[in-house]
Amino acid sequence: MGLIRSWVESANAPDHPFPLNNLPCGVFSTPDEDARCGIAIGDFVLDLAALEEAGVLELPGAPLLDVPCWNEVMEAGPEVWAALRARLTVLLAEGSAERAAVEPHLVPLSQAELHLPFLISEYTDFYAGRNHAFNVGTMFRGAENALPPNWLHIPIGYNGRASSVVVSGTPVRRPWGQVKGPDQGLPAFQPSRRFDIELEMGAVVGMASEGPVTVAEADAMIFGYVLLNDWSARDIQAWEYQPLGPFQAKATATTISPWIVMKAALEPFRVSTPPREVALLPHLREPGPMLYDIALEVGLTPEAGRETVIARTNYREMYYSAAQQLAHHTTSGCPMNVGDLLGSGTISGPTKQSRGSLLELSWGGKEPLAIDGGSRSFIEDGDTLVLRGQAQGDGYRIGFGECSGKLLAALEDPYARN
């Protein structure tokens, strides 16, 4: 399928991230209007709350867009998701007879402030990229013991903090925590010195479940995808993660892009997961292609400096898909909720330039990477990190917007008393 042309001319540019093929879901506000649901089309955001109120957009179960989040639309189910996309395509397609009713509700993106697009119920982060797991394991245990015995059988994950998920553009403060280096007899409480990013995709769960689901059923439950940066304090993590895994090291912030790209927009880009080194048990086997061909990159801009793209990789490098992760999550009977967020795990490719974290790019700080005007082993105060992603079609592009955050200096000792 090629570009679907729109009367919104900017949406027809072949390199624009928001063509009519995309229709990503977000929440925006303006100086004159409170936060409300919209979709991005070209250089504009279309106010869907206003369209619904005017009766131009009528969905089963309406009103669904009278709240500043996409949870009610998600909960309405896949038939409503499809109806929404079909109706918007009619309204925005080149030659639409209803252009006059829609055009007054377009707001320039330059005038819109973007917010978290959905209410996040719970957040689970996975460790499901083979290249990343192998690199990190090699650093700490050697290549012969890089992957834990269970890694090729199940997608490893942990429950994170939904309360610390923030939207792109939100500054992130360098955290304090307990740190113990190899030459220290006792741990010290101090700001993290090895603060890092993790380049990930986030799957947004749009349907609830009450018991185990298959991989195919899990795939149907996913509403869409966002870019996700799981900020990580590597030195805090090294001291705390045994025996129960990450805790405070991952609780500072998780940044997501402001646009949910609906799964339907990504259908042309499905690809298969990689060949299995060990056959998966039947409940985790894929009924078809479950990954997506989405090109990803990370840019680092120091304070008052210029950006250097420090990594380029692709979502197809994952070993386990979001559908497999979600299916695995339910095997114990664990209920899943509308608005659950699943982090893919760090997406690293096979080359040094395709590693999705500074831990890997600098090989634990031993090989600093060059940036414009200097070098980095880990993130320094004032650095801005930006994640970008796009799927390239025939004459069009599906973009996610940016997932960015600037690192602020740590606070003074929060426990110091005068």
For residue 235, what are its two tokens? Answer: 């030195």
Element housing 53 (H / E): helix 48-54
Residue 122 CA to residue 391 CA, distance in Å, equals 27
Cα–Cα distance, 389 to 293 (Å, whole number)? 10
Q: How does DSSP assign 291-358, residue by residue?
A: EE--EEEEEEE-TTS--EEEEEEEGGG-SS-HHHHHHHHHTT---B-TT-EEE------SSGGG-SSH
The two structure tokens encoding residue 110: 């330059």
Sequence length of the chain is 418
Q: Which residues pair with 292 in a beta bridge?
A: 270
CB contact at 8 A, 31 and 16: no
Q: Which of 28, 265, 321, 68 is nearest to 168 (CA)?
A: 28
Q: Which helix (H) or strand (E) holds 398?
A: strand 397-399
With beta carbons less than 8 A apart as the criterion, state whether 200 and 297 touch. Answer: no
Cα(74)–Cα(204) distance, integer angstroms: 9
Alpha-carbon distance of 374 to 302, in angstroms, equals 9
Contacts of 14 (CB under 8 A, 6+ apart): 3, 395, 396, 397
The DSSP secondary-structure symbol of 265 reads: G
Contact 347, 356 (CB under 8 A): yes
Annotated catalytic residue, options 16, 132, 328, 329: 132
- Distance of alpha carbon 339 from alpha carbon 328, whole angstroms: 18
For 391, the enclosing helix (H) or strand (E) is strand 384-392
Three-state DSSP state, 111: helix
- Report residue 371 as tokens: 């940036």
Q: How far apart are CA 187 and CA 181, in angstroms?
A: 8
Please indicate whether residue 132 is annotated as part of the active site.
Answer: yes
Note whether 292 and 270 are within 8 A (CB): yes
> Which residues are known to be catalytic?
132
